[in-house]
A and B are shown apart, each in its own frame.
Chain A
């Protein structure tokens, strides 16, 4: 066991935990777990090893789960502001082939390299912040925001983004059914269209090329759109374009994270204002009641004075 690790040291250095775990596990490698005692023993072995590692870890590296970068953080723990270095690391500056570049995209292109259009991230960042402040303002005014990302890798991104906006966020992770907005009476039924707000207030599209139907319907229904536009797309298809790579999952996670966190701030602003308004209402009502009572009391006193007679 040890010798094989040493001979393979140049190829791969197993971390201490996995190596030690293998040592512990080799004892019961071929034995099947038959009864309850076996299972309890199996769990207890692992738990004791884990507690040993936890006990010793305070003397080792200070890297813990909280302060380590993990791949899943971009989806589950995005940052509020995007930086150019983060966008670069996610490959947001890679456009499509220069031969396929849409002429209207020229203002957002930095140049060409290796036959690919490089997108100017110096322009992407302020446009992203503009879109974020738009999302915040719409959410603060009780607006409905729909996140559309119709690829399997974009599905969890739009789900998480909609979760952040709670009751004001919606997602579409599979194919957008044509006629969702323009044929809503048939799609959702008369009751729902009459009683609920079916037309959203903002639509964020993470892959606009595949969702031209959705963008067209939003334009017909006068719904503002934000979208990640790549170099082969005319940026004018959406109202607020964000020039970036639409094929990269990390880029979509960063952008959707920024927009959804801004939306969440808007939701919080709205709730704070609601609460303040309600408190004002209550205070005003309380004062009115007190005024009313004092007036009543004054009247009664006056009457009492009038009816009183000197003894």
Chain B
């Protein structure tokens, strides 16, 4: 064992001769002015070929530039990410110039009460992918944050210039900021906000409600109130007077009624259980619009509870589309929220989702 190890160690310890070979022997010039700064490029047989240079054709070799080559233009050339660093430097220069200008205009440093009075402006910078294409580098989070930090600082100065009414300065800053603003600004700003439901040409709203695995498509249209009859045309009678009216007169006052159809069947037929019907009508009661809308729904998937819950969700959204004032009331009653509870899966080793098998001591 010892002999083997010694042999292995000796082979490893033998120095691996690394040779730094030059193509031709180096002879230093005796005088510095004998050095030719632009020697002619020899492409002979003795020259070691760089594998990357094999692509040169005969024509290209003859066309090659001999003599003084140009210097790289960008000062950040040796970073490997010239465009990105040049843009950073230009933004920094713009910030320092703007800061000087604002100081001259007595707008910097801004006390807190003045800062609160600045006009609110929202920004939507280009996404990391868009900037990666522009700067020709992979935009990691760190690099993106460096760019956006500078852009936000410049945007602050833009807000100051706009609020204090200095249009030329504001325009100059905006010229720079526009290069980095996303083209899809409206989309970016509307992210996270729910799209407003539009009523169609007939005044109908179309909303979708979901619960468990059911989904319901709900159309709601306000009930057309019939014109009041000639006998009670001008005045609206108070309740006491209405109650005191005779039978015929009471019958002539129109009472608005609405219909709820689910899969083309009336609600009483589709949901025989009163609990389901209650669940569907609850949003209308909460908003106080019980007889105001005719509702047509198509419900699919799930069972009775799921479908009734989905229809209720859709009705709540539809009411919000017609009248946004009741939004607060519906939200507090948690009717606009899609109930996220779903059937929990069964797990291995358990009888059901949570039910365990009988515990046995041995």
Contact = CB atoms under 8 A, between A and B. Distances in A.
Contact of B70 (A39, A50, A169, A197): A197
Interface in B77-105: 77-81, 85, 89, 105
B11 interface: no
Interface in A167-199: 167-174, 176-177, 180, 185-187, 190, 192, 194-198
Contacts of A162: 75
A43 B105 contact: yes
Contacts of A168: 71
Nearest to B89: A159
Interface stretch (B112-120, B245-253, B310-318, B343-351): B112-120
A304 B114 CA distance: 91
21 contacts: A29-B111, A30-B113, A32-B117, A34-B117, A39-B165, A43-B105, A43-B107, A46-B106, A47-B106, A144-B71, A162-B75, A163-B75, A170-B72, A171-B75, A174-B79, A177-B80, A180-B78, A195-B69, A196-B69, A196-B70, A196-B72
Contacts of B77: 170
B69 A36 contact: no
B240 to A, nearest CB: 52
Nearest to B112: A29
A185 B116 contact: no
Contacts, number: 82
Nearest to A197: B69
B55 A190 contact: yes
Classify chain B: how many residues form its interface, as a range: 20 to 34
The interface size bin for chain A is 35 or more
A185 B114 contact: no
Given A167-B71, A169-B75, A36 B165 contact: yes
A195 B70 contact: yes
B72 A198 contact: yes
B65 A195 contact: yes
A133 B71 CA distance: 22
B164 A39 contact: yes
A196 B305 CA distance: 75
B76 A170 contact: yes
A30 B117 CA distance: 11
A194 B64 contact: yes
Contact of A31 (B55, B78, B79, B113): B113
A31 B117 CA distance: 10
Contacts of B106: 42-43, 46-47, 50
Nearest to A143: B71
B70 to A, nearest CB: 5
Interface in A24-59: 25, 28-34, 36, 38-39, 42-43, 46-47, 50
A200 interface: yes
Given A47-B106, A195-B69, A190 B113 contact: no
A146 interface: yes
A174 B88 CA distance: 12
Given A39-B164, A43-B106, A194-B64, A170 B78 contact: yes
A181 B2 CA distance: 46
Interface string A140-166: 000010100000000000010011000
Nearest to A167: B71
Given A30-B113, A39-B164, A194 B78 contact: no
B113 A146 contact: no
B33 interface: no
Contacts of B105: 43
B50 A185 contact: yes
Nearest to A146: B78
B159 to A, nearest CB: 12
Given A29-B113, A43-B106, A200 B78 contact: yes
B52 interface: yes
B259 interface: no
Contacts of B53: 185
Most buried by A among B55, B71, B78, B116: B78
B52 A187 contact: no
A262 to B, nearest CB: 18
Contacts of A185: 50, 52-53
A197 B106 CA distance: 47
A91 B117 CA distance: 46
A46 B107 CA distance: 9
B324 interface: no
B113 A33 contact: yes
B198 interface: no
Contacts of A190: 52, 55
Closest 8 interchain pairs by CB?
A46-B106, A185-B52, A33-B117, A177-B80, A39-B164, A43-B106, A32-B117, A197-B69
